[in-house]
Every structure is written in structure tokens, then in C-alpha cells.
Structure 1
């Protein structure tokens, strides 16, 4: 069965994802910027919301927005964040780093995986910003990465479908391909049929904040996890899996 991962920003999102049949969540802050490292308070409440479900909460570690070429201080910050997650009950970390010439920074990645210890490591969509994602995917062999989140180097995953299918074939042993990036419910069956191990989406809905933000508070709206979208994604995956196996079971 194809896994379903939901990107969430809080404990409420964790509960919705769990109730909607998600396999796991990626917890982050500031989803509109592509996601940043969440606070330790958010991590603690997310793990509690998972209700003891082992491996359910994976945490994005990204110290700032922008590109993925990091300074010495950026790397130290993220290593410290990864280390602080040990023993919190999270199921894994999500990281990525590139060199200035558009390749995966294997040296920085080695520092991240060392800091993670026994926690599973996912390499995020920094892969889509590399000069040659297929070549760089192969370079992850032996890196300690167990999963890669990618759109197939396209703006939306459905547009990168052919590349995603190629990635499934080229992925090193022990590295799963997870499709993510602009995923719509109607895209999910085709993504699953490409052979990816998981599909990732935010299932976000924008809600109006009834309370004034003031002149320095930013937009008068909030992002929330939509239970209808989560349930729809799970249903789309289940239908696609049944079609792929020739099963007529609901």
C-alpha cells in the first residue's frame, strides 16, 4: 500500500491526519515559505497528539527560508536542532543541503545523519533544486537517507511523473521515493501508479482569523489542516492501490 504523508504545522493537524488515515506527518512551521523548523513546544504537543503511534511524527529541520546552500552557522544550528529531537518520541527528521554548484552536499548531510543517530532521515525537495536530480539521487547511496521527497524536479508532482517513475527505478537500495509538491487529489492515483512509496501533501485550507493582528501581525488569515482533504487523499490512494493489485475490495 502507498503511504500517505501530510505536512502539518500543529497538534491539531496531527490529530486530523491520524484520524484521516495518514501513515505519518511532517511537522514544520511556516508552510507558506516551504517549511521551517518547528518549536520544541510544537514538537512535544505533536508527539502527544499522535497518541503513542510510533514513528508518526517526522520533523522538518530547516533553519531559514531561501536556498539550500548553508553557512557554517546554519549547519551548526540545524545539527543542534536535530540533536535536540533525540528522545522526544519523533519518528524521524527531514533535511537537505546543497553545494553552490547544485549538487547534494554529502559532507553536510553526513553531519545531519550523525546528529540524527538512529532516527530515520528523509532528504527533502532540495533534490529538485539540483543540477541533475537523477544523478544526485544515485549519490545518496550509503548516505543514511531512507526516503526522498521530490516532485520529479517539476513545479507540480504530476508534471514530473515521468521523472518520478525513473527515480523509483534508480533509487539506491533502502531509499524510498515520496512524491510531493503541488499534489491535488485527482493527481494521486497516477502518482501511486508510478510506483512511489508515498505521496505527500499539505491538505491545507485558509481560515480567517477573527481577531485583529494589528499593524505588525501580518496577514489576517491562518493555515489549517483540512480533514476533508486528508480523507480524500486516503480514499484516492486506497482506490489506486486496489486498481494496481486488481482487487475489487473497498
Structure 2
């Protein structure tokens, strides 16, 4: 029997978290402001979600739209947010920054990794905007706690990125240096993508809008999440 796939669902609040859990989510990505593609939530939101559900949470570390960290003062603010969220009990995080040339912003990433002090974390879809995906992976490979890449394989989404995702899944299966972290596929992901990805060995999937058939102004639908869970488990 194949290993159960991980299903991660975006949650904006405790109601979303409960609905996602009830639908069969294994983990939540906790964010605010999806109009900006997901920013750091408040400390209070993280506390309410932790009180509402027992499944793991990955909490976003990002204060502005895009993948540039900004000025040193902006990075200081973000490090302070990371410290606050860690103090609230957050144990897993999501982060990722590039410089103006599309290379990993190692100064910012290393600062945040030090702030979260050994917690596990996902490098998010900044990888899809990187000038060189392979070089980015290899430059980050030794950072403590990095265990996941959230990626669609392309800035345009899974339809465009499928070939890249399949190639990276092969690299992970082959134990290629820089590809040890789990591939978490999300970004325009649909149910009809799952058979090819599962056949390639992908074991982790991320949904946001797909868990909300009535749009981002509506809550997570446990029935929508359950459809993904049952398809992954089939």
C-alpha cells in the first residue's frame, strides 16, 4: 500500500481550521490577507487556531506581497514577528525570499531560520520565481529545519509546471543533492493533476481556493476538503 499523502489546507481563522480538519486535512498553512497571496497572521489568530485544532500548523512569515524582503528595517520587523509567533507556540513556519536577481536572499532567510530556532519550515513558492531553481535548492540544502518546498513548478501554476514537478520528484527519488526536502505541490492544483503526480512519487499537496468553492470570502468547505482527501486516499 502506498504511503498516505499529506493534504495541507490554507486557513485564515479558527473556523477554517476546524472545517479543514473535519474534511481530512493533515496540516494547515496559516496566513492572512490572501489578496496579497498570504501574509503573516496575527499572534491572536495563531493562538485561536492552536486552541481549536490539534493538527500541525505552518505559519507564514511574510509582511508584504512578493518575494523581496525589503529594507533592513523590514527584515527586523519580520524577525520580531517570527519571535512573537514562536512565543505564541507556533512550531512550524513558511518563508522564502529572493533578491532582485532572483537568487535566494540568504541573509534574510538565515536570519529568520535563526529566529525560529530549529523549527521545521517550508520554502514557499518563491522557488517558482527563482532565476535558477536547482542552484537555489543546493544553496539552501544545509539550512536547519528546511524540510519542504511548496511549488507549482512554474509561476503560472501546475499546468505549466507539471514537467518540472515530475523532474524534481525523480531527483528526490534518486537522492540527488539539494532535493532531500519534500515536494509539496500547490498553486493552480486540480484533482485531475493528482494521478500523474502520485504516480511520480509526490506525497504532499497544498490547496487554498480549491477548499473554498464559493471564493475567498467564504469559509473552508469540509466537503471540498473531503473530496481531495478521498481522491488522494483512493
Give me the TM-score of the superposition, normalised by structure 1: 0.83
Local SS of the residue matching 1:59: strand
User: How big is the shift at 1:235?
Assistant: 1.1
| Residue matched to 1:39 | 42
* Structure 1 residues without counterparts, runs of 5 or longer: 208-220, 240-250
| Residue matched to 2:228 | 233
Local SS of the residue matching 2:119: coil
CA contact (8 A) 1:122 1:148 kept: yes
CA contact (8 A) 1:44 1:88 kept: yes
User: How big is the shift at 1:179?
Assistant: 0.6
User: How big is the shift at 1:43?
Assistant: 0.6
Measure the CA separation in 1 of the matches of 2:35 and 2:65.
10
| Residue matched to 1:204 | 212
Moved over 3 A (4+): none
User: How big is the shift at 1:93?
Assistant: 0.7
CA contact (8 A) 1:191 1:199 kept: no
Measure the CA separation in 2 of the matches of 1:67 and 1:86.
22
* Structure 2 residues without counterparts, runs of 5 or longer: none
Local SS of the residue matching 1:86: helix
Measure the CA separation in 2 of the matches of 1:225 and 1:62.
22
Alpha-carbon RMSD across the aligned residues, in angstroms, is 1.9
Measure the CA separation in 2 of the matches of 1:175 and 1:104.
16
CA contact (8 A) 1:125 1:150 kept: yes
- Greater relative CO (CA pairs within 8 A, separation 6+): 2
User: How big is the shift at 1:159?
Assistant: 2.7
Measure the CA separation in 2 of the matches of 1:98 and 1:229.
33
| Residue matched to 1:186 | 192
1:32/1:193 CA distance change after superposition, 3 Å: farther
Local SS of the residue matching 1:121: strand
Local SS of the residue matching 1:161: helix
Q: What are the residue-to-residue correspondences of 1:205-224 with 2, within 5 Å? A: 205-206=213-214, 222-224=217-219
CA contact (8 A) 1:125 1:149 kept: yes
| Residue matched to 1:156 | 157
User: Does residue 66 of structure 1 match 2:66?
Assistant: yes
Local SS of the residue matching 1:26: strand
Could you give the per-residue CA deviations for residues 51-70 of structure 1, whole angstroms, max 9, x where no partner exists?
A: x34xx111111101134242
1:37/1:98 CA distance change after superposition, 3 Å: same
Could you give the per-residue CA deviations for residues 14-56 of structure 1, whole angstroms, max 9, x where no partner exists?
A: 1111111111000101123210111111111111111x34xx1
| Residue matched to 1:8 | 11
1:32/1:196 CA distance change after superposition, 3 Å: farther
Give me the TM-score of the superposition, normalised by structure 2: 0.88
